[in-house]
Structure 1
Amino acid sequence: MPTNEQIIGQALDRIDAGYVFPEMTIEIGAAIRRRLAAGQYDELAGPVLCQLVTKHLQEVCPDKHLRMLWVDEPQSLDPADADDGRNAFLALLRAENQGIRRVEHLDGNVGLIDIRRIAYADEGASAIGAAMQLVAHSSALILDLRACRGGAPEGAAMWCSYFFPDDQVHLNDIYERSTGATRQFWTTAHLPAPRYADRPVYVLTSPITFSGGEDVAYTLQAHGRAVLVGETTRGGAHPTARHAVTEHILVTVPTARTINTVTGTNWEGVGVIPDLSVPADQALDAALKAALGRLGA
């Protein structure tokens, strides 16, 4: 059974090796090791330990993706199985219909898609396409991202692709620390359902909306393709790897940063600010009212 010193040491090693802003890692490590030496973690275990270390990490570096997490399902510690959390997230997506909670047809021929996770573009393509097929003939569309907690950048680009006419829109870039390379994300050329490029789109947001959900909201807003309705989002813009340090403790390390091609920046730390600010629980009614008004219904 590893000690807290060993657990936290391994987590800090992962942060030092991978965090997207390497200049921050010395300060992060020093602050946590001071607390470790002072005995602040001695009597702690499980979720309580993870919560306190996460709090202290984010006091030094306010990056909401930088966390130590407790998971109930045992994780493999075999280096051969390391995949930055992809397989675990794939299993979650399969159990949750690739992140799509519901699709509805509202009054006035307005479509609604409730998205809770942003799926990978490969496995999620058919489910995303099925949802878009169901709203293909609506007059306006509402994407409900109020409970969307994140997902894959490739999936965010696929969702966004439906709202542009072709594959010629450069959505954003992601800079990877490990390679020093910048990956470009463009609209997808071939989609499994009709594009929705010529009708109004509204995106609902809340303080829960995070990461990949914020990516979709921010990108559509920045490119002038959607009106955002609700509350400012949580503010996490850094793609992240997940590393098991014990069977039940993960450290999540932001390894890259997003750069929007319109704004030249992202939503890290500030969130995505809606165009129409209303309490999150009133956002659907407000968006539907705006859509119907625009349609003259």
Structure 2
Amino acid sequence: MTTSAKLSPAPVIDATAQLVTEHYVFPEIAEQVADLLQCRLAEGAYDVDDAEELARLVTADLQSVNSDRHLRLKHHADPVSPEQGAATLAAMRRDFDTSLGGAPRVQLLDGGVALVELAPMLFPLEWAAEPLGAALTLASRAQALIVDLRGNRGGDPDTVAFVCSYLLNKRTHLNTMHWRSGERVEQSWSLPHVPGARFGGTKPLYVLSSTSTFSAAEELAYNLQQLGRATVVGEPTLGGAHPCKGWTVHPHLEATIPVGRAVNPVSGTNWEGTGVRPDIPCAAADALDRAHSLALIRLTD
């Protein structure tokens, strides 16, 4: 059992407002958000004793200006390190160790169709390259492939590029990250070579989505959809296109601040606020059966 640190809302709000002002990808929005937090603090809106309740209240206000779902005050039940980013990494590591490295299901379905589930995250590539490469190499022999992202809540853009590399035939521009105020632009490309075998860029490919699919998982679906490489089947995704970093502002609280925005080279925009719109809309629970049926029809044409 852990002992909760004493909660004083003012230092948490001051630190969070400062981080938003210094790092949020849209400086003009950052000022509005920081002012709102300070006003709400002065009104007594954050006069609570529970860190989890404070996280809920502050997150609602953080997201009230422009509905950015990456802009959050996250509660952690166990105390977290003050080192920047450590809280998120620790939580990721626990999930990584209990999900076969982020590829918990690889299955051959009827008709030579493979299913690869990527969940609950696309973990940092230095961890995930081996298990993801093994899963995708195993599926490379299938006649069609279904990638299940319905339970994937995000992760590492480098891992997105790694997965895309198994599903394309040649090096391809996938995305461009514009960091705060246009100070730096960084392109993301698929890899010229992968460990193992590629599924490649011509066989039928389907991506399953849900209203829980978020962040980097949305980028994976969006990249493949915009390239005309995959058919997205399921529900519209959650709608978060801004990569973020985390800062500990209390032993149980982490401020996550978006520091960039994604721009797809095909669409010239991204999925922020709108989500990835499926090509074949259906309930998430029905998406696998629907995609499997579509793959079988295509293979027999």
TM-score bracket, shorter-length normalisation: over 0.9
Asked if residue 118 in structure 1 is aligned to residue 133 in structure 2, the reply is no
Q: What is the root-mean-square deviation in Å for CA atoms of aligned residues?
A: 1.6
Q: Which residue of 2 aligns with 1:138?
A: 142
Distance in 1 (CA, whole Å) between partners of 2:191 and 2:78 is: 35
Name which of 156, 159, 164 aligns with 1:160. Answer: 164
DSSP 3-state at the match of 1:59? coil
String of CA shifts for 1:202-240, please: whole Å, max 9, x gaps: 000000000011010000000000000001000000111
The code of the aligned residue for 1:87 comes to: L
Residue number in structure 1 paired with 2:77: 72
Deviates further, 64-73 or 37-46: 37-46
Cα-to-partner distance string for 1:79-99 (whole Å, 9 max, x where unaligned): xx3246563234532443221
Task: Establish whether residue 63 from structure 1 lines up as the match of residue 68 from structure 2.
Answer: yes
Distance (whole Å) between structure 2 residues aligned to residue 151 and residue 17 of structure 1: 23
Aligned to 1:4: 9
2:189 maps to 186
- Counterparts of 1:204-283 in structure 2, within 5 Å, are 204-283=208-287
Q: Which residue does the alignment assign to 2:101?
A: 98
Match of residue 200 from structure 1: 204
User: Does the 8 A contact of 1:231 with 1:273 survive in 2?
Assistant: yes
1: CA distance, partners of 2:27 / 2:192: 36
Q: Which amino acid aligns with 1:220?
A: L
| CA gap 1:86/1:248 in 2 versus in 1, 3 angstroms | closer
2:29 pairs with one of 24, 32, 54? 24
Contact kept? 1:18, 1:178, Cα under 8 Å: no
2:290 matched to 1:286?
Answer: yes
Partner residue in 1 for 2:133? 129
Q: Give the letter for the 1:141 counterpart.
A: L
Offset, 1:190? 1.9
Q: Could you say what secondary structure the match of 1:15 adopts?
A: helix
The one of 151, 155, 162 equivalent to 1:151 is 155
Contact persistence 1:178–1:255 (CA under 8 A):
no
Write the letter of the residue equivalent to 1:57. Answer: L
2:239·2:275 contact (CA, 8 Å) conserved in 1? yes
The residue type paired with residue 255 of structure 2 is V
Residue 92 of structure 2 is aligned to residue 87 of structure 1: no
Deviations along 1:17-59, one digit per CA (max 9) or x if unpaired, are 1100011111111112111111111134221110111111111
**Taking every aligned residue pair, what percent have the same amino acid on both sides?**
39
- Tell me how many residue pairs correspond in the alignment: 293
- Asked whether 1:176 is paired with 2:179, we answer yes
Decide whether the 8 Å contact of 1:230 with 1:274 is kept in 2: yes
Gaps of 5+ in 2: 1-5
Question: Does the aligned pair in 2 maintain the 1:28–1:61 contact within 8 Å?
Answer: no
Contact 1:241 1:252 in 2 (8 A): yes
Q: Is the 8 A contact 2:101 2:123 kept in 1?
A: yes
Change (3 A) 1:224 1:84: farther
Which residue type is aligned with residue 66 of structure 1?
Answer: L
Q: Deviations over 1:101-122 (max 9, x none)?
A: 2111101110001111112223
Q: Does 1:40 align with 2:42?
A: no
- Would you say the 8 A contact 1:115–1:143 is kept in 2? yes
- 1:15 — aligned with what? 20
Query: Which 10-residue stretch deviates more, 187-196 or 229-238?
Result: 187-196
Paired residue secondary structure (2:175): strand
Distance 1:272 1:217 in 2: 7
